[in-house]
Amino acid sequence: MREFIVEADGGSRGNPGPAGYGAVVRDAATGEPLTEAAEYIGIATNNVAEYRGLLAGLSAARALDPTATVHVRMDSKLVIEQMSGRWKIKHPDMKPLATQARSVLPPDQVTYEWIPREQNKYADRLANEAMDAGTKGEQWSPSRSTAALGEQRPTAPEEQHVSTPGWGSAPDLGAPATFVLLRHGETPLTPQKRFSGSGGTDPSLSDAGREQARRTAEALARRGTVQAVIASPLTRTRETAGIVAARLGLDVTIEDGLRETDFGAWEGLTFGEVRDRHPDDLNAWLADPEAHPTGGGESFAETATRIAATRDKLVAAHAGRTVLLVSHVTPIKTFVRLALGAPPESLFRMELSAASLSAVAYYADGNASVRLFNDTSHLRP
């Protein structure tokens, strides 16, 4: 079952006065805007415009997929509380609008959440564009909209369930636990491509890495889908997570299972230096997931066992939520490899850039869907 986020808003210049609404439907896993709606509605109140925005957003989501689950996010406390059933609807203008909104999709497919106005800028801008057009005697047009300026629009790969081959529809398993996997920003070792695991010097972010973290934070804030932030205990991941979490208004939880592989005596060396100094150990490590780096460290098989246990624990704790996991190259590749059911050697066939975003959704029946991999569009100027 697909999952959408609807962000909606409405405004009135005078209350009542010239009014309009805006709504955007996003992919819940990636935050990608899928479709927009906006309209000038003449003279109306703020609340009427907000309800009209909700109606438009729900209708747009239904047009995309009438079976999808929809999470509505609005900065109107009135609309959210009334549609959630916690506040009574007393105003005669609101009752028919609320009834219409409830009839767009089955109630069990829709949930509601109040968000601060700061997190609803996209829909707010659409509503203002509609009002601007209406006061000029024009119709709002998507081709003229600037609401998406600054939005990052990653393209998610097609969903692929490991143990469900073919093209049949998946059963209704409820909302998955979605892990957005963020590799930490650059450290001084990153551009030099040196082994930097959990057994080395534990470097901090470089200036470039901190800027990457800030850009990632802004992109995730615009998407507005992350509900928790969990990080590896290493310094570079804690720093990256701290920058992002501060922007999102969330706390950081530390999870030891997300740490990088321990590369033993190879820590701080380049691949070429390891090949020159420890050729036999390197060849064995490349050929056998059970092999250890020189001097001990951790094999890829041991890392996979650790990541699988961490995955299962976090999936159980965060069912139905979108969680940002700030980790490292090997753990993130391992999350993806396990989700795809790919062999261990696939780790060497994946490129994972600093501060890149990937996403995997985990369903109640144990299946997983890779929705995004190595997206760096948010890092572009």
CATH code for the domain of 91: 3.30.420.10
Query: Is 160 a member of any domain?
Result: no
**Same domain, residue pair 211 and 342:** yes
**Same domain, residue pair 203 and 114:** no
Total structural domains within the chain: 2
Annotate 125-167 with DSSP letters as a single string.
HHHHHHHHHHHTT----GGG--TTTT---PPPPPP--TT--SS
pLDDT at 14: 86
| CA–CA distance, 319 with 316 (Å, rounded to integer) | 6
CATH number for the domain that contains residue 371:
3.40.50.1240
Between the CA of residue 45 and those of 17, 130, 217, what are the distances in Å?
7, 15, 35
**Same domain, residue pair 121 and 228:** no
**Same domain, residue pair 217 and 129:** no
Q: What is the pLDDT of residues 312-349, one digit of tens each?
A: 999 999 988 999 999 999 999 999 999 999 999 999 99
Query: Is 367 a member of any domain?
Result: yes
Q: Find the domain containing 42 and state its range.
A: 3-137
**Same domain, residue pair 208 and 271:** yes
pLDDT at 303: 95
pLDDT at 364: 80
| CA–CA distance, 232 with 61 (Å, rounded to integer) | 36
**Same domain, residue pair 183 and 61:** no
**Same domain, residue pair 222 and 274:** yes
pLDDT at 32: 84
Whole-model pTM: value is: 0.59
pLDDT at 161: 36
pLDDT at 168: 37
Q: Which of 137, 169, 187 is the last residue of a domain?
A: 137
With a cut of 70, list the residues of the chain below it in pLDDT: 143-174
**Same domain, residue pair 17 and 117:** yes
pLDDT at 150: 39
pLDDT at 129: 92
pLDDT at 160: 35
Q: Which residues are catalytic?
A: 184, 260
Between the CA of residue 139 and those of 39, 41, 210, what are the distances in Å?
7, 10, 43
**Same domain, residue pair 17 and 67:** yes
Query: Is 244 a member of any domain?
Result: yes
**Same domain, residue pair 257 and 352:** yes
Tell whether residue 236 is among the known ligand binding residues.
yes
**Same domain, residue pair 222 and 131:** no
Q: Which of 87, 122, 137 is the last residue of a domain?
A: 137
Q: What backbone phi and psi angles, to 5 degrees, belong to 71? A: -110, 115
**Same domain, residue pair 362 and 225:** yes
Q: What is the pLDDT of residues 137-183, one digit of tens each?
A: 888 877 556 555 434 433 333 333 333 333 333 445 567 899 999 99
